[in-house]
Structure 1
Amino acid sequence: MKKMKSIQDEEDTLLGKRVYHLYRARFAMLAIYGSIGLFNNAIWVAYTPIVEQASETYGVDEGAINLLAATYLACTIFLTPLGSWMCDVKGPRAIVVTCGILNTLGAWIKYASGGNFWILLVGQLFCAVAQPLFLPVPPKLTANWYGEDERTVATGIGSLSVVAGIAVGYGLSIGLVEEEPNNCCKHLNLTLAILVTIPSVLGLIFFRDFPPTPPSSSSGAERDDFFASAKNVFREGPFIVLLCTISPGYGICTALFSLIGNLATGQGYSEELSGLVGVVLVTSGLLGAIIFGTILDETKMFKQLIKLAFGCAAIAVTLFLLAMQFGWPPWVVLFLSGISGFFLLALLPMCVELGVEVTYPATEGVVTGALLLIGNFYGLIFFFILQILIKDEDSDGDLDSTLSLWVLLGICWICCLGSVFIYGDYKRLDFERQEKGEEFGQAGDPNSGIQSQYAGDSLSDHEY
């Protein structure tokens, strides 16, 4: 990698005006960030599909094992403002390095815990503290490194690579419990400790906040500071509406991922199936984020695509939960979970990017942090409500999650109906278009005498 240079030293010009370049190193930055977040989230839900085995290993009840996942939700509520501040003031590198250290320490403490639940909980807390710090990073990272026609896809990959850790956690748990049913927890902790250490070291060595030159006019533009952004975003009506729709939806996702094992077994399905449901939800969600993000980057139809995804997600989740409720075959449950994840998880990066658009020039860290803070607050409430409802026992003495499924379904439709009211102007896009008009004339305008580099929205990759 070439030595970093200042933006001024690397600035290219076209007839005295700035030309914006993209650097291949942007893919490495996104990969390092995504890997750290991926394995952090794998640690979050690693015991969710194997609650019974974990409770036997550590000599506690299943509620205590579920508490391991709840620590993430609690830390996110209290520490997301700190993550937003670090993202905007200290930069993404400070977060990547800090979270890498916390992840590595926490993972190895969990491995060293043996069968002691309290040492295990301490290690989990180290990793839980890291999550709210790195969650606000994707839109800031993509704004610093990616062009305007790549941002939504890159934000989606960054956001959902973190969520993909849930699939990794489920997959590792299922695989190890089948191979080593008596020592699955020990081997799971060791595997995750090794995996989380690798990207942490890479982040410490290679990760950077900025490329040599900005990728777009908005990236190099003057922005509100952290505290001004925090004050101004809550004065924006479109952002308040977005908070009231996507935040409860995000809360549904976090509660669902934390309790999928109990929800599935409460309807008579196996723990292995619950793990597979988590894997399918996340992988299909990543695919949905890429497809919707690509369409969004091409069309800039934020509001229309978000409303479409909300409606499709509500229908798909309804069918998915009804399938579990009425005991449909496992393959049907898996198929419907994939359709649900495709639309449901694709909403997060689109709504984050819309939040940045309607609040510009507020900083990305504040906008993302606010959405995730409220979302995790909802998630923590939903988690405890659903866990209480799941503990209602049927006549055979088994857990019954029927009431929890209906509550989830009702919340999902409330969010869907609320999405109808989403509105707002695309302020960041307007700023970038104005900058292009000022610097180059309108792209392709025969009267300007200059053909803009952005005509056709084309950008060239440069070696970095």
Structure 2
Amino acid sequence: MEENDEETYDQTEALLSSDVQRRGDSQLGFKLYKRRWFVLLVLCLLNCSNATIWLTFAPVADQSAEYLQVSLEEINWLSLVYMVVAIPLSFGTTWMLDTVGLRATMILGAWLNMVGAVLRYVGTLLDPSVQFPLVMLGQTFGALAQPLIIFTPTKLAALWFPDHQRATANTIASMSNPLGVLLANIISPTMAEESKQIPALLLAYAVPACIVCFLATVGIRSSAPATPPSASAELSGTEPFVQGIKLLLMNKAYLVLLLCFGSGIAVFTCFSTLLEQILCVQGYTNDFAGLCGALFIVFGIVGAGALGLYVDKTKKFTEATKINMSFTAVACVAFSVVCLLREQKAAVAVVCSFFGFFGFSIYPVAMELSVECSYPVGEATSAGLIFVSGQIQSVLYIILLQALTTPIADSPLSTCGAAVLSWKVPMMVMGGLCTVFTCIFVIFFRTRYRRLEAEEAAAYRTKRSYGSTNTEHAPSVDT
């Protein structure tokens, strides 16, 4: 297995080198285009818009159920449909990104996102008997768009950005999704205090979706710049999709990352989904749970930004991921303890901030690491399979943790309503799972940075071939 993997890598490295030599001196300095920032902006706005559509109804579930004349369980399905749709569509999305191209994928995602947002608003204006079906159809269109959007950051960073900006670009694009989640938790309760305000809320989410769709359709004119920003960009996704899957399944380092980081995604999904139910047992209000969720996201975005800049400068992908996963495991265990304590708001808030700061920052770096350890497999394929692993494990974790809860007969401080459940055992299990998979990753994950090595080999051979004294590989910028 390893020998076949090494042979594939060596062939790709040779192809990179010969290709750079063939083009001559013009490729000694790669050209960057300012337009890359516009493409990144469109993706960020699209990712943020899709996240707000996803969680529109969760913060105002009671008002939504009253307006649409359905049960709370049916309202919950407006969010769960994203998870249900994402898993089977993920393979098609990775194929599309690596085969059809970035431009077509982003534009299709933008149109699905816009159609979904508009359908939801139109549905609220029609007869009550068709309101909920149309709103659910709109949510389904948004769910169809999610994989097309959320898989794109790694591909965009590889095609448009040089090696010293890739992790930063990936971080900016990836963190726009939790920013959208945060905005939804702020905007929805503010705009829809009463059920009759639901149509206005959906209109407020539809307008940005239409604007972003226009920007994507008109502004994104190509999948990649005229000239690549790095040696690896030109050969991005050269491995056929099926062959790429085979290479990933033979890559020990990638499989460890797939399992362990997928588990990390699952833990974060459980935390975000169950936070309010966990805290209400000990008397914490919904407002406080919302504050903890906001701190979790805000500190996560800050941590991701800082780590992205650090990794871009040092290229220490593995070290950064292992250290942050270790701190994340500590934070998860700490949360499993403090969430069971009463009247400890400060401790709970601090732990949630700590959890987000180290946990969220792993995501974009781990996605870049998945590309480095699996190159020359397409970026969308390597990053997409990890997302699929996270979604599958998320479903399993949520089912497991809910099954481990036990009813509490008497809980005088509870703010949960009629049903009060003990989360002591589920939280200990979650902390244990996070710790176990972190230990597996720290002990067993080892890899070469194949993409960086291929770029360095191509540059070195070109310099030797031409004997140029001006051998700086710094990119030039299009003005």
Which letter maps to 1:105? V
> Is contact 1:281-1:337 (8 Å) kept?
yes
Which letter maps to 1:306? T
Which letter maps to 2:234? G
1:225 aligns with 2:240: yes
> Is contact 1:267-1:401 (8 Å) kept?
no
Distance 1:149 1:249 in 2: 26
Distance change >3 Å, CA 374–CA 60, structure 1 → 2: same
Distance 2:201 2:249 in 1: 43
1:200 aligns with 2:213: yes
Which letter maps to 1:145? W
Q: Which string of whole-angstrom CA distances, capped at 9 and with x for unpartnered residues, describes residues 112-136 of structure 1?
A: 3336433322211111111122222
1:450 aligns with 2:456: no
**How far off is 1:209 after superposition?**
1.1
Which runs of no fewer than 5 residues in structure 2 stay unpaired? 1-20, 412-417
**How far off is 1:74 after superposition?**
1.1
**How far off is 1:318 after superposition?**
2.6
- 1:430 maps to which residue? 453
Distance 1:256 1:389 in 2: 15
Q: Which string of whole-angstrom CA distances, capped at 9 and with x for unpartnered residues, describes residues 54-73 of structure 1?
A: 33333433333222221111
**How far off is 1:21 after superposition?**
1.4
Distance 2:387 2:422 in 1: 27
2:434 to 397, 406, 412: 412
2:300 to 285, 306, 317: 285
Q: Which string of whole-angstrom CA distances, capped at 9 and with x for unpartnered residues, describes residues 344-373 of structure 1?
A: 111111111111111111110110111011
SS in 2 for 1:60: coil
Which letter maps to 2:148? L
Which letter maps to 1:459? P
Which letter maps to 2:147? P
Distance change >3 Å, CA 51–CA 434, structure 1 → 2: same
> Is contact 2:68-2:132 (8 Å) kept?
yes
Distance change >3 Å, CA 91–CA 188, structure 1 → 2: same
Distance 1:295 1:335 in 2: 24
2:350 to 335, 347, 364: 335
Higher mean C-alpha displacement, 39-48 vs 148-157: 39-48
- 2:477 maps to which residue? 461
1:51 aligns with 2:89: no
Q: Which string of whole-angstrom CA distances, capped at 9 and with x for unpartnered residues, describes residues 228-253 of structure 1?
A: 11221111000001011000111222
Distance change >3 Å, CA 119–CA 268, structure 1 → 2: farther
- 2:380 maps to which residue? 365
**How far off is 1:406 after superposition?**
3.0
Distance 1:186 1:325 in 2: 39
Distance change >3 Å, CA 272–CA 120, structure 1 → 2: farther
What RMSD in Å do the two structures reach over aligned CA positions? 2.5
- 2:29 maps to which residue? 19
> Is contact 1:42-1:166 (8 Å) kept?
yes
Which letter maps to 1:251? A
> Is contact 2:31-2:229 (8 Å) kept?
yes
1:261 to 267, 273, 276: 276
Which letter maps to 2:63? Q
1:209 to 223, 228, 235: 223
- 1:399 maps to which residue? 420
Higher mean C-alpha displacement, 324-333 vs 281-290: 324-333
How many residue pairs match? The answer is: 444
1:353 aligns with 2:368: yes
Which letter maps to 1:302? F
- 1:5 maps to which residue? none
SS in 2 for 1:74: helix
Distance change >3 Å, CA 61–CA 138, structure 1 → 2: same
> Is contact 2:164-2:313 (8 Å) kept?
yes
Distance change >3 Å, CA 371–CA 350, structure 1 → 2: same
Query: Kindly, what percent of the aligned residue pairs are identical?
Result: 26
> Is contact 1:230-1:366 (8 Å) kept?
yes
Q: Which string of whole-angstrom CA distances, capped at 9 and with x for unpartnered residues, describes residues 243-275 of structure 1?
A: 110001112222333343333434432222333
Distance 2:275 2:137 in 1: 24
Distance 2:306 2:80 in 1: 31
Matches within 5 A, 1:38-437: 38-114=48-124, 116-177=131-192, 180-207=193-220, 208-221=222-235, 223-388=238-403, 392-396=407-411, 397-400=418-421, 402-403=423-424, 404-420=426-442, 421-437=444-460
**How far off is 1:326 after superposition?**
0.9
Distance change >3 Å, CA 265–CA 110, structure 1 → 2: farther
Which letter maps to 1:67? W
- 2:18 maps to which residue? none
Higher mean C-alpha displacement, 430-439 vs 111-120: 111-120
Which runs of no fewer than 5 residues in structure 1 stay unpaired? 1-10
1:31 aligns with 2:41: yes
**How far off is 1:212 after superposition?**
1.7
**How far off is 1:390 after superposition?**
5.9
SS in 2 for 1:313: helix
Distance change >3 Å, CA 81–CA 413, structure 1 → 2: same
**How far off is 1:138 after superposition?**
0.9
> Is contact 1:285-1:344 (8 Å) kept?
yes
> Is contact 1:55-1:61 (8 Å) kept?
yes
Distance 1:160 1:394 in 2: 41
**How far off is 1:100 after superposition?**
1.2
